[in-house]
Each structure stands twice: as structure tokens, then as C-alpha cells.
């Protein structure tokens, strides 16, 4: 009887011999394999959805070292062209390249070093800004240029531009593309002379540079604010053998201003700076 009882109790108890020792490890392996398989399918789809998902907020454009003189409407125009160029993805490099090209084509920057995302909803534009310097006048109006003669995105009707040096009598047509340098050497010559007087206390007494006779004699002529024509001569550094250097011409204008508070030295019609003796009448 005791033997049968032992047999019955042995049948009712579970036996560990039915589960091999490797079974738990195998179960974990199957589970990890299923997770890995799911990741292979799910991760690329997640990245794709993230790349195409709309941004949580409108893109904000930040211009590094933005100059105070940049017109508000021009800033908005550049912002819109940049935002339009960028796709909704924060990982889209093609969009950033297109945004960089859009910033460069605006004409306000001489160089765009990079356009980058500082956040998913913010883009930073870094580059070198042009410096508005003078107005080149032609029959179509007064066109803003920088110190290098690059055409900037601003034109006014005749006489309506800001108080900048005016360059008139140009013969070469203005550039077809913003940011391009005015062709020929006449505008460059006028700007090189203007750069010499830019920081002089009497700079505002020079109303403009007349290039009407440049093609025939290669001479720069200044117009004073009182209507006197001042014959400057050839471009700085390109003076003829019989012509005094630019430094001596500047000294003559400085002396006239110190003595009579005006650079025309009292001449009503013309003043010639090319010789050792300043002649006026």
C-alpha cells in the first residue's frame, strides 16, 4: 500500500525533467529576435515620419551681425525666400543649400558663409554684408552701390535717393543681376576717389562725381554743393607724370576748407587740383 501511495503522489507533482536547462535562454533569444525584427521595420519608418513631419512652429530666420541700416522690407523679403527654400524637415541639407543660394541672390550680402539650423524652428544666416556707399545715376534712376561698385537692391527716381555721393555721366549699363559689380572702370575710379574723402569733415560739400568726359579724357570731376566743378584728375594711383598725387589734392581741399570753410576756395565755376598750384575761377 505504501508503494502505491508513493506512486500516486509522484504522479501529482510536476517534474522539472520536462523543461530542459536551455529553455529560458532560448525563450529570451526568441524574444530579442522579435524585438530586433520589429526595430528593423519600425525605425526607418519613424525616421521617415520625423523627416517629413511639419515643424512645431513657423521657422524663424536670424541674421548674424545684421546691420542697422538694412531696410525692413528687404529683410522680410530675404526671410521669405529662405523659408520658402527650406523643406519642413530639420534634416534636409538640400533645403539649407537652397536657402544659402537665396540669401546670396538677395544682393545684400557679399558672401554667405553658411545657413544652418540652430533648432528645428530656427535658421541662422552667417555672412558678410554689403556697405551702401554711393548712388550711380542713369536715365532709369539712382541706383545704390557698395564700396566695390556692386549693385544693391535699391533704386530711386532722380533726386529722390538718400544723401549719398552721386555718380553721374556713366556710359556703361548697370548690371543685370543684383550683387554684380558695375562694368567698366569709370565707376570703380569714382569710388576709389570717393573712398579717400569719405571720412573728411568736408565730405558733405561734395555733391557728386561727374563722369561725362571720362571716355574722352579719363578725368574725374567733382561737383560741390555750391555748383563749382572741381577737376580732380585721374583715378588715385593712376596719375599722369604731370599730375600731383592724390594726397596733395586732398591737402589742397583741406586747406581751402580750413581757411574759408569750403573746399571750392571761393571759386564760383571751376577749380583744378592737378597741378602744384590750385587754379580756380
| pLDDT digit string, tens, across residues 120-167 | 788 999 999 999 999 999 999 999 999 999 999 999 999 999 999 999
Confidence of residue 187 (pLDDT cuts 50, 70, 90): very high
The overall longest dimension of the chain from CA atoms, in Å, is 149
Tell me the C-alpha distance between 116 and 124, whole Å: 5
Task: Convert the pLDDT of each residue in 10-37 to its tens digit.
Answer: 444 544 445 555 555 555 455 555 544 4
Residues 139 and 263 in one domain: yes
Enter the pTM of the model.
0.73
Residues 137 and 223 in one domain: yes
Residue 51 lies in a domain: no
The residue among 88, 109, 129 that closes a domain is 129
Helices and strands in the chain, H and E counts: 7, 12
Which residues pair with residue 208 across a beta bridge?
166, 223
Phi, psi angle pair for 20, to nearest 5°: -65, 160
Domain span at residue 121 reads 60-129
Residues 101 and 184 in one domain: no
Tell me the C-alpha distance between 230 and 135, whole Å: 19
Residues 114 and 158 in one domain: no
Confidence of residue 40 (pLDDT cuts 50, 70, 90): very low
Strand positions, DSSP E, 45-162: 60-63, 109-119, 122-129, 132-138, 141-146, 151-156
Continuous H helices in 53-181: 72-85, 93-105
Amino acid at each position: 500500500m505504501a508503494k502505491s501511495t508513493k506512486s500516486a503522489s509522484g504522479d501529482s507533482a510536476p517534474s522539472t525533467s520536462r523543461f530542459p536547462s536551455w529553455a529560458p535562454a532560448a525563450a529570451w533569444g526568441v524574444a530579442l529576435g522579435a524585438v530586433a525584427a520589429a526595430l528593423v521595420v519600425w525605425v526607418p519608418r519613424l525616421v521617415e515620419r520625423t523627416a517629413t513631419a511639419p515643424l512645431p512652429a513657423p521657422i524663424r530666420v536670424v541674421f548674424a551681425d545684421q546691420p542697422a541700416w538694412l531696410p525692413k522690407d528687404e529683410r522680410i523679403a530675404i526671410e521669405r525666400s529662405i523659408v520658402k527654400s527650406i523643406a519642413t524637415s530639420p534634416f534636409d541639407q538640400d533645403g539649407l543649400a537652397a536657402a544659402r543660394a537665396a540669401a546670396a541672390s538677395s544682393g545684400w550680402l557679399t558672401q554667405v558663409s553658411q545657413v544652418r539650423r540652430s533648432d528645428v524652428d530656427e535658421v541662422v544666416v552667417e555672412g558678410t554684408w554689403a556697405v551702401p556707399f554711393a548712388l550711380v545715376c542713369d536715365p532709369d534712376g539712382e541706383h545704390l552701390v557698395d564700396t566695390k561698385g556692386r549693385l544693391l537692391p535699391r533704386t530711386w527716381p532722380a533726386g529722390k535717393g538718400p544723401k549719398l555721393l552721386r555718380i553721374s555721366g556713366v556710359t556703361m549699363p548697370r548690371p543685370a543681376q543684383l550683387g554684380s559689380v558695375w562694368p567698366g572702370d569709370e565707376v570703380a575710379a569714382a569710388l576709389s576717389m570717393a573712398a579717400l574723402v569719405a571720412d573728411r569733415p568736408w565730405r558733405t560739400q561734395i555733391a557728386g562725381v561727374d563722369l561725362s568726359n571720362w571716355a574722352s579724357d579719363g578725368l574725374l570731376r567733382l561737383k560741390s554743393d555750391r555748383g563749382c566743378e572741381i577737376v580732380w584728375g585721374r583715378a588715385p594711383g593712376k596719375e599722369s607724370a604731370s599730375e600731383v598725387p592724390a594726397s596733395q589734392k586732398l591737402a589742397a581741399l583741406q586747406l581751402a576748407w580750413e581757411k574759408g570753410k569750403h573746399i571750392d576756395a571761393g571759386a564760383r565755376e571751376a577749380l583744378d587740383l592737378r597741378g602744384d598750384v590750385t587754379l580756380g575761377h
